Amino acid sequence: MVEAYAAPCGADPVRITGALVMMRRASLLIRRLDSYFAAHGLSQLRFLVLIVIDREPERRSLTPNDIAQRIDISKPVLSRTLQGLEQDCLITLAASRTDGRSKEVFLTAEGRQRLNDLLPGYFGILSEETAGPAPD
């Protein structure tokens, strides 16, 4: 089907198909991850926030701005997500002592626990994905 469309546009059907297949695989993988996280009271985004704080080598906290840059997400979305995580007691927010505009985000013990609980399943899903045959 791609050929009939791509050829008149001067595009390479092989490349097009490759890109489409990749998007399809990624989309299916994302669905699986979403449903995995949803079953455990998180989401991909919330999970990423936790992991990014946890893996920080030198510090035990990050600013919202740091987090947004590391996971490449807009600040408003992060702001909303942090509010949810705080309500669920997975993080704590404190005012920055060096910058009156900023905050510091810490993992709670429960947050770290939840993260560690979900990591094996997360990696399992990622491994299966790359293991399986490429779907059409």
Partner DNA sequence: CCATTTAAGTTATCACGATAACTAAATAGC
Partner DNA sequence: GCTATTTAGTTATCGTGATAACTTAAATGG
Write the DSSP assignment of 64-127 as a string of letters.
HHHHHHHHT--HHHHHHHHHHHHHTTSEEEEE-SS-TT-EEEEE-HHHHHHHHHHHHHHHHHHH
Write the DSSP assignment of 4-29 as a string of letters.
HHHGGGT--HHHHHHHHHHHHHHHHH
131: partner contacted, choices DNA, its own copies, none (Cβ within 5-8 A by kind): its own copies
* Interface with DNA, residue 125, by CB under 7 A: no
Output the CA–CA distances (angstroms, integers) from residue 14 to 18, 103, 130, in the order listed.
6, 48, 21
What residues line the site for its own copies (CB under 8 A)?
1, 4-6, 9-12, 15-16, 18-20, 22-23, 25-27, 29-30, 51, 55, 119-120, 123-124, 126-127, 129-131
The answer to whether 129 and 25 have CB atoms below 8 angstroms apart is yes
* Interface with DNA, residue 117, by CB under 7 A: no
* Interface with DNA, residue 107, by CB under 7 A: no
51: partner contacted, choices DNA, its own copies, none (Cβ within 5-8 A by kind): its own copies
* 8, 10, 100, 120: which one binds DNA (CB under 7 A): 100
CA 136 to chain CA centroid, nearest Å: 25
76: partner contacted, choices its own copies, DNA, none (Cβ within 5-8 A by kind): DNA
Sole window of 7-15, 17-25, 53-61, 77-85 interacting with DNA (rule: CB under 7 A):
77-85
List interacting residues with DNA (CB under 7 A).
Answer: 43-46, 63-65, 68, 72-84, 93, 96, 99-103
